[in-house]
Structure 1
Amino acid sequence: MSAEFILETQGLTKEFKGFVAVSDVDLKVQRGHIHALIGPNGAGKTTFFNLLTKFLNPTSGRIVYNDIDITAEQPAQTARRGIVRSFQISAVFPHMTVLENVRAALQRSLGTSFHFWKAEKTLFPLHERARQLLAEVDLESFADTMTVELPYGRKRALELATTLALEPELMLLDEPTQGMGHEDVDRVTQLIKKVSAGRTILMVEHNMNVVSSIANRITVLQRGAIIADGPYAEVSKNPLVIEAYMGTTDTALQGAHA
């Protein structure tokens, strides 16, 4: 694999008692790109993410990251390499402030994540970096707000900040705009584009307007297999893709759920 690609899967397959959830997937993610993984419900997108992050072991195939075969690694090893996943469900601490949430993520770099007895002042050096990360996702004015009081879209922005705190080289975003109103979708879409600078993003996303506006490349899964791969303009006209989305025309595809 050339340095051009940060991640490659080769023949990646996952079977569950005879059911093939991911079937012989060859995927290449170009370094520095936003790469979208789309497909109808049940297409195998979440299973594929679970294989990348080692929540599942593949039945066959390989996962290569930065030219290293990581197929047999433990989840923690893979995370330390800089592959960080953000989940569909907002994963923040509701009864901590926005700043404290980011600071907690930054503690990992100090090796004090579980040192609950340490004085809080030992964490003060992290505040400046935490505030930088909040600025990156447009949350600096919410630093002292209790997270439970944040609107849903802002919570997802906070989750982006805590993901960035782990210094990912490859961010896996699992349906980042799910459940959002139009205004929040637009805001989070722009944030994803903003934080992608200097990073690579692989995202599962159901909103085709999001995908068409920020993804450099799109891979379409159906029944666990790739049926199309390329830029949006090309993929959205592919007859197999249009058919997979119940569809009729590419306008139906734009509003489809993945």
Structure 2
Amino acid sequence: MSDSTQTPSIILETRGLTKDFKGFTAIKDVNVQVQTGHIHALIGPNGAGKTTFFNLLTKFLTPTAGRIFYDGNDITRHRPAEIAQHGLIRSFQISAVFPHLSARENVRIALQRKLGVSYHFWRPIRVLDQLNEEAQHLLEQVGLGEFADTKAVELAYGRKRALEIATTIALKPRLMLLDEPTQGMSAEDVSTVTDLIRRVVEGRTVVMVEHNLNVVSTLADRITVLSRGEVLAEGDYDTVSTNPAVMEAYMGTTDAA
């Protein structure tokens, strides 16, 4: 009789990941495994190394030591464009939409890659008209259907973040990296964007850096806690939130990471 227990599929893994900056070690010997289909949160006090870790994953930085594996392949020395082509897509802490284009036009730019015209900006704009229906569908998914013709610069901050999530999804990511998706938002916008993320990432794998522990507790299947560049704890929310070392690192606070 065969064993019915299946080993979880690991889509992203770091082994001994280390980054030094002129004598300062920002990340030291970090080992993380991200399971396919999970939302994996990365938290830690200010200066814990979260942004450095994200920049290593997306190849904006080169590790001093260690390796990064994506979908079983060593991507440690790959360029950012290479990993994006394989479906590892990052959204940034600061909204990265085109401010003077409409919401629909922003999504169409992300969608046009599949037409093979990503860099053919001299072609007539009607070439992209075939993407309008799909763009509208994505906007409706993130609650922006009625704002399709609104310029991004005119959208409220929470809606700009929703638009960025729509453009990220348009790139058909296998793994989404969300960098502080609720930073700077009002409580109402935080709730809206949290619900949005839960809805649109269903069935996708996500790694997110997030300060708001209420968001993390709501969304994350697994949490890695960094402190001074090293893994302090890992597990589900109940496990890490009651860990004495984690509580000490946060100096007793429970509302922000």
Query: Could you tell me the TM-score, scaled by structure 1's length?
Result: 0.95
Select 1:21's aligned residue among 5, 14, 26: 26
Partner residue, 1:137: 142
**Moved >4 Å (runs of 4+):** none
**Is 2:74 the partner of 1:69?**
yes
Counterpart residue number, 1:96: 101
Q: Give, in angstroms, the shift of residue 111 of structure 1.
A: 2.5
Name 2:191's counterpart in structure 1: 186
The DSSP-based 3-state class of the residue aligned with 2:32 is: strand
In the other structure, the counterpart of 2:4 is: none
1:157-236 mapped onto 2 (5 Å cutoff): 157-236=162-241
Matched residues, number: 251
Contact 1:3–1:66 at 8 Å: present in 2 too?
no
Q: 1:148 aligns with which of 143, 148, 153?
A: 153
**Residue 239 (structure 1) shift:** 0.5
Partners of 1:72 and 1:116 in 2: CA distance: 30
Give the counterpart letter for 1:240 in structure 2.
A
User: Normalized against structure 2, the TM-score is what?
Assistant: 0.95
* 2:110 counterpart letter in structure 1: A
> Is 1:43 the counterpart of 2:48 in the alignment?
yes
In structure 2, runs of 5+ residues without a counterpart are 1-6
Q: Which residue is 1:32 aligned to?
A: 37
C-alpha distance after superposition, 1:127-167 (max 9, x if no partner): 11111111211111111111111000000000000111111
- Please tell me the residue identity of whatever aligns with 1:36: A
Mapped to 1, the partners of 2:8 and 2:20 lie a distance apart of: 31
Between the aligned partners of 1:175 and 1:29, the Cα distance in structure 2 is 18
- What does residue 110 of structure 2 align with? 105
Work out the CA distance in 1 between the residues paired with 2:144 and 2:58.
28
